[in-house]
Amino acid sequence: MTLNSGTPALKQGLRAWLTSDAPESRFHAQMVQVYAGWQSLCANKLAFIGFMIIVALILVAIFAPLLATHDPSIQDLKATLLPPQTDGHIFGTDDSGRDIWSRVVYGSRITLFIVALVAFTAPVFGLLVGTVSGYLGGWVDTVLMRITDIFLAFPRLVLALAFVSALGAGIENAVLAISLTAWPPYARIARAETLTIRHSDYIAAIQLQGAGRIRIIVGHIWPMCMSSLIVRVTLDMAGIILTAAGLGFLGLGAQPPSPEWGAMISAGRTFIYDHWWIATMPGLAIFIVSLGFNLLGDGLRDILDPKKAES
Amino acid sequence: MSKPLLEVEDLWVRFPSKRRVVEAVRGISFSVGRERVGIVGESGSGKSMTGRAILRLIREPGEVEAKKIHFDGQDLQGLSEKQMRDVRGHKISLVMQDPKFSLNPVMKVGDQIAEAYRVHTNASKAEAKKRSIEMLNAVQIRNPERVYDSYPHEVSGGMGQRIMIAMMLIPEPDLLIADEPTSALDVTVQMRVLQIMDKLVKERGMGLIFISHDLNLVASFCDRVIIMYGGRIVETCRADELQNAKHPYTRGLLNALPDIHKPKDQLSVLERDPKWIEDPSVDAYS
Amino acid sequence: MSNAVDTATPKRRGFSASLLKRLKSLVTVLFSVLLTLVGLLFITFIIGRVMPIDPVLAIVGERASQEIYDAAYISLGLDKPLFVQFGLFLKQIAQGDFGISNLTARPVSEDIIRVFPATLELASLGTVFGIVFGIPMGVVAAVNEGKWQDQVVRFVGLFGYSMPIFWIGLVGLIIFYGILGWVGGPGRLDIYYEDVIPVVTGLVLIDSLIEGDIDIFWNAFSHIILPASILGYYSLAYISRMTRSFMLEQLSQEYITTARVKGLSEHTVVWRHALGNVMIPLITVIALSYANLLEGSVLTEIIFAWPGLGSYLTTALLSADMNAVIGGTVVVGMIFVGLNLLSDFLYKVVDPRAR
């Protein structure tokens, strides 16, 4: 940690260490790679903007109590439907007099919660199914891929809707439903990657050393699937945010009075022609955040796609 | 020989990339009349780029620079893209290496040939079809009507290359550039395809630039040979005087070839001298 | 003996062998489709079973006596093991029977037939929009790779991917209907035009033309144009991006150089030769995007009060109308599978190498 805030000389040393051609340890090699990726990310303007948007989202979620000007759930029936920039309400107020800016700020926590939960469940499950299926092959592969295909055959939103209605409305169930519909593509990607490395010499070498299947899959195949999964997950995040917001909009996701952005749009819909800001502000928030994920994912794909990296 | 068809002076082809500029062709000069000129070199010697640069087919970010590229007295560098299209196919044509990749996979063979004809003439569809079938006959394809209606994946490599030749000769160009036209074919059909091409070129009194890595093949088919190395011309001579070549690279190539009349115990391995890259290019005017 | 036959008629043997191969591949495809469909139905069935709604109560009502309740319980087959119930469920569906909707008190299958044309009309127009604008945009982006045109197309696409469809629908309604008054509001028609023309295809745009009522046609058009453009924008974002990447791949092929050598104009090279090859993989993309629009219309239909399958499904969901939910989900899933099958088939028809 002292390395980061050192003298110029130390900084120089750090740079040399990060751009070294001959890494001394596994950790060193990883850091060199991360640094190279970071540099190309900074060179790609759009991807960098996307990255900054996501960093901003995280900061807003962390510092929500400081950024919010009002309590997001306190109603003020004397100050309903105020347009933006009146009486210290930056984005105006809704039909119960709640401050929209503060609700949008707190809503970022819900969005981040959904994104994080889905990002840590669906890809992991997909990775598990895909690598096991690809590595073991045979009937296990056939059965698992058949199941994956069945899930892929379902339209995502409709399946999520059906799941939520079966499980009951609520944010946890919405997350579960989205994860249940989101894993099949990851399984496909992980399987494809596994098939290409399954017969490679280094896997054979590990097998000769007597490593078990689980150790090979977890220790040697999973890391190889990571970069393509990360790109895909980043690109999917926007879709996940939109689906979650859609469920919220339909009243099947986060329940009122929670300041979930989709639910806020739904509530503002009634007043759309006379009080446009109620539905517009949370909508803008959803749009900016999903744009951020899309820009970053698009840039990551350019960076991690070896075909394009040449030129 | 009278005025040459093609005159090239100080031709450069460069590909700038982020770190450095790759120079594929480095200041070569040559001319071609209504004769058969072979350009020989290993891969990366710039021989293919030379052919494409003449037709102005080098795509961005590649750059072409020359003091002079004249065809039939016409300055090709000064032509607009539209005028250049009239030169391509109609005056200079190019046969590429592998018919598997150089034919459009989803268009009927016949339509591809007829298209080459119609773009340079005002022929009707029926007329173009008639001409195309004649042309398929000329490249010795049996049953040309059936081949006309087939797709590229349905024909063999040798037939595909004959189709390619038919397509490139149908607008009756004055110069044909053949870029490794038989390298992707089975050895058994190579000669046949070459003979067909040679016959048609002779009959029509065209010029031919035959690009190949195969020194023997070039020597037996061409009037004149140009040897390229590292983007430059290292030597040029008449094909029948090749045995007297002086440049060590040419000598090396010749010595690396087995000769049925003078069997050797061991073929020599080509040794390269970095100095060759720096040597000035030899002019190869006819 | 078999040897003699082999050498005598090599051609016929080849022919019958290829026929056998085709038949085999057809059977494989049919089997895998059937398996997918059964799996799809199974998931839907399970969803229906874990729904927090008592299907018996839904039929007999809250105040029925225990005897009536038990009788209904048995007549519904709920006392049997789960897989027997699933068998019964499959049998019902095979007969096109999805049960009665609690909400409309009509057979679900009838309801779906009634509402589906509205969704079909919307998604079809959206896909047409996506194809007409998306393909040229993708081509232009690929031809000008890395230049400003490419950046614009990329940005337009990312914008499309990032916008919540229900939100952009609302904003569109405010601007184009509320403020500018350029388009019709929610619904398929203005209220005084509704139920005027006889239903032939169920597609208002076509029915009005059949009837020769141009006023109704324009009214329907003014209503559909906004939701269709919004759906079309999504389709455009996807189609243009895929077109671009397919185009880049094709433009680097040798046959493109051949086309240039022939002296063809750049226009012909790009739009006839390269795009001709791109259209084949694009079929799958278009089918997928069409299927996505049929699904994506769920939210759009709610915003625009569009009486289609999406509205039907959500209303059913929110009022716990189980039969309608299952029926709707199964139908949407089947459409997905069907479109996939169709695109595979078209692929084989269009690609000379796959015939």
pLDDT in tens, C32-41: 888 888 888 8
A6-20, A263-277, B130-144, C226-240: least confident range: A6-20
Q: List alpha helices for chain B, DSSP H.
A: 47-54, 81-87, 99-102, 109-118, 125-138, 144-148, 157-169, 187-203, 215-221, 248-255, 275-278
- Choose the most confident range, by mean pLDDT, from A200-209, B91-100, B205-214, C128-137: C128-137
Per-residue pLDDT for B256 more than 90? Answer: no
Q: What is the pLDDT of residue C235?
A: 92
Q: Which residues pair with B226 in a beta bridge?
A: B39, B236
Contact flag C261-B101 (C-beta cutoff 8 Å): no
Per-residue pLDDT for A22 more than 80? Answer: no
Instruction: List chain A residues with CB under 8 Å of C302.
Output: 250
**CATH code, domain with A286:** 1.10.3720.10
Give mean pLDDT, residues A278-288: 91
- Rounded distance, CA C123 to CA C112, Å? 16
pLDDT in tens, A144-196: 988 898 888 777 788 888 888 788 888 888 899 899 889 999 999 999 889 88
Q: Are strands B6-16 and B224-229 parallel, antiparallel or unpaired?
A: unpaired
- Rounded distance, CA A245 to CA A231, Å? 22
Contact flag B167-C258 (C-beta cutoff 8 Å): yes
- Rounded distance, CA C287 to CA C283, Å? 6
Q: What is the pLDDT of residue C15?
A: 57
The SS3 assignment for B54 reads helix
Cα–chain center distance at A288: 14
The SS3 assignment for B227 reads strand
Contact flag B94-C261 (C-beta cutoff 8 Å): yes
Instruction: List chain B residues with CB under 8 Å of C268.
Output: 119
Question: B113 — contact with chain C (CB < 8 Å)?
Answer: no
pLDDT in tens, A104-156: 999 999 999 999 999 889 999 999 999 999 999 889 998 998 889 888 877 77
Q: How far is C322 from chain A (nearest CA, A)?
A: 10
Q: What is the pLDDT of residue C3?
A: 38
Question: Are A272 and A279 contacting, i.e. CB atoms less than 8 angstroms apart?
Answer: yes
Question: Are B49 and B13 contacting, i.e. CB atoms less than 8 angstroms apart?
Answer: yes
Chain A residues in contact with chain C using a Cβ-Cβ cutoff of 8 Å:
146-147, 149-151, 153-159, 161-163, 165-168, 238-239, 242, 245-246, 249-252, 262, 265, 269, 272-273, 276, 279-280, 283, 286-287, 290-291, 293-295, 298
Percent of chain A with pLDDT over 70: 95
Give mean pLDDT, residues B154-167: 92
Q: What is the pLDDT of residue B285?
A: 81
Dihedral sign from CA coordinates of C314, C320, C321, C324 = positive
Q: What is the pLDDT of residue B2?
A: 58
Question: B172 — contact with chain C (CB < 8 Å)?
Answer: no
Query: DSSP letter at A219?
Result: I
Give mean pLDDT, residues C52-60: 69
Q: What is the pLDDT of residue A310?
A: 36
Instruction: List chain C residues with CB under 8 Å of A290.
Output: 161-164
- The confidence band for C263, taking pLDDT boundaries of 50, 70 and 90, is very high
What is the ipTM score, two decimals? Answer: 0.89
Question: B106 — contact with chain C (CB < 8 Å)?
Answer: yes
Per-residue pLDDT for B102 more than 90? Answer: yes
**Which among B283, B179, B272, B183 has a CA at the least distance from the CA of B230?**
B272
Q: How far is C122 from chain A (nearest CA, A)?
A: 17
Identify which has the larger pLDDT, B133 or B251. Answer: B133
Q: What is the pLDDT of residue C236?
A: 94
Chain A residue with Cα closest to C53? A166
DSSP A112-164: HHHHHHHHHHHHHHHHHHHHHHHHH-HHHHHHHHHHHHHHHHS-HHHHHHHHH
- The confidence band for A58, taking pLDDT boundaries of 50, 70 and 90, is very high
Q: What is the pLDDT of residue B270?
A: 75
pLDDT in tens, B169-191: 999 999 999 999 988 888 888 88
Per-residue pLDDT for A307 more than 70? Answer: no
Question: Are C216 and C193 contacting, i.e. CB atoms less than 8 angstroms apart?
Answer: yes
Q: What is the pLDDT of residue B25?
A: 93
A105, A254, A289, C146 from A68: Cα distances, Å = 6, 20, 18, 41
Q: What is the pLDDT of residue B59?
A: 85
Residue labelled with tokens 């040979």: B225
Domain range enclosing B132: 100-172
Question: C259 — contact with chain B (CB < 8 Å)?
Answer: yes
Mutation for testing the B interface, residue in C144, C150, C258 having most B CBs under 10 Å: C258
Give mean pLDDT, residues B127-150: 93
Q: What is the pLDDT of residue A8?
A: 61
Q: How far is C252 from chain B (nearest CA, A)?
A: 10
A292-306, B34-48, B166-180, C242-256: least confident range: A292-306
Query: DSSP letter at A275?
Result: -
A63 within a domain of the structure (yes/no) = no
Give mean pLDDT, residues A44-67: 91
Identify which has the larger pLDDT, C67 or A132. Answer: A132
Chain C residue with Cα closest to A244? C164
Q: Hey, which residues 294-353 in chain C have their CB within 8 Å of chain B?
A: 351-353
Q: How far is C167 from chain A (nearest CA, A)?
A: 6
Which CATH number fits the domain C109-354, given the four candidates 1.10.3720.10, 2.40.30.10, 3.40.50.2300, 3.40.50.1980? 1.10.3720.10
pLDDT in tens, C174-213: 899 988 989 888 888 888 888 878 888 888 888 888 888 8
Contact flag C253-B151 (C-beta cutoff 8 Å): no
Closest to B86 (Cβ–Cβ): which among C255, C263, C353?
C263
Instruction: List chain C residues with CB under 8 Å of B103.
Output: 255, 258
Q: What is the pLDDT of residue C52?
A: 64
Mutation for testing the C interface, residue in B17, B102, B117, B169 having most C CBs under 10 Å: B102
pLDDT in tens, B141-155: 999 999 999 999 999
**Which among A236, A246, A108 has a CA at the least distance from the CA of A179?**
A236
- The confidence band for C161, taking pLDDT boundaries of 50, 70 and 90, is confident
With contact defined as 3+ CB pairs under 8 Å, the chains touching B are C
Per-residue pLDDT for C347 more than 70? Answer: yes
Query: How many domains, chain A?
Result: 1
B193-197, B269-273, C209-213: least confident range: B269-273
Give mean pLDDT, residues C115-135: 94
Q: How far is C273 from chain B (nearest CA, A)?
A: 7
Contact flag B104-C273 (C-beta cutoff 8 Å): yes
Closest to C173 (Cβ–Cβ): which among A272, A286, A290?
A272
Residue labelled with tokens 């000389």: A9
Is the pTM above the cut of 0.90? no
Q: How far is B116 from chain C (nearest CA, A)?
A: 5
A204 within a domain of the structure (yes/no) = yes
Query: DSSP letter at A78?
Result: T
Question: Are B55 and B96 contacting, i.e. CB atoms less than 8 angstroms apart?
Answer: no
The SS3 assignment for B6 reads strand
Q: What is the pLDDT of residue C247?
A: 95
Q: What is the pLDDT of residue B280?
A: 81
Question: Are C318 and A251 contacting, i.e. CB atoms less than 8 angstroms apart?
Answer: yes
DSSP C263-332: T--HHHIIIIIIHHHHHHHHHHHHHHHHHHHHHHHHHHHHHTT--SHHHHHHHHHHTT-HHHHHHHHHHH
Number of Cβ pairs closer than 8 Å across B and C? 75
Per-residue pLDDT for C8 more than 60? Answer: no
Q: What is the pLDDT of residue A68?
A: 86
> pLDDT averaged over chain A?
85
Question: Are C203 and C230 contacting, i.e. CB atoms less than 8 angstroms apart?
Answer: no
Contact flag B115-C264 (C-beta cutoff 8 Å): yes
Contact flag C263-B120 (C-beta cutoff 8 Å): yes
Contact flag B105-C353 (C-beta cutoff 8 Å): yes
Residues in chain A: 311
Per-residue pLDDT for B252 more than 80? Answer: yes
Q: How far is A224 from chain C (nearest CA, A)?
A: 25
A96 within a domain of the structure (yes/no) = yes
Instruction: List chain A residues with CB under 8 Å of C166.
Output: 245-246, 249, 262, 265
Query: How many domains, chain B?
Result: 1
Instruction: List chain B residues with CB under 8 Å of C146.
Output: none
Closest to B89 (Cβ–Cβ): which among C257, C263, C266?
C263
A44 within a domain of the structure (yes/no) = no
Mutation for testing the B interface, residue in C150, C248, C255, C346 having most B CBs under 10 Å: C255
Domain range enclosing A188: 71-310
Question: C266 — contact with chain B (CB < 8 Å)?
Answer: yes
Contact flag A287-C163 (C-beta cutoff 8 Å): yes
Give mean pLDDT, residues C80-107: 85
Domain with CATH 1.10.3720.10 in chain C: 109-354
Per-residue pLDDT for A231 more than 70? Answer: yes
Per-residue pLDDT for C6 more than 60? Answer: no
Q: How far is C348 from chain B (nearest CA, A)?
A: 12
Q: How far is C8 from chain B (nearest CA, A)?
A: 24
Closest to C166 (Cβ–Cβ): which among A155, A167, A246?
A246
Q: How far is B54 from chain C (nearest CA, A)?
A: 11
Q: How far is C296 from chain A (nearest CA, A)?
A: 8
A78 within a domain of the structure (yes/no) = yes
Contact flag B88-C353 (C-beta cutoff 8 Å): no
Q: What is the pLDDT of residue C7?
A: 35
Mutation for testing the B interface, residue in C145, C251, C262 having most B CBs under 10 Å: C262
Contact flag C262-B89 (C-beta cutoff 8 Å): yes
Per-residue pLDDT for C69 more than 70? Answer: yes
Contact flag A286-C164 (C-beta cutoff 8 Å): yes
- The confidence band for A309, taking pLDDT boundaries of 50, 70 and 90, is very low
Q: What is the pLDDT of residue C105?
A: 85
- The confidence band for A2, taking pLDDT boundaries of 50, 70 and 90, is very low
B241 within a domain of the structure (yes/no) = no
B275 within a domain of the structure (yes/no) = no
Per-residue pLDDT for C145 more than 60? Answer: yes
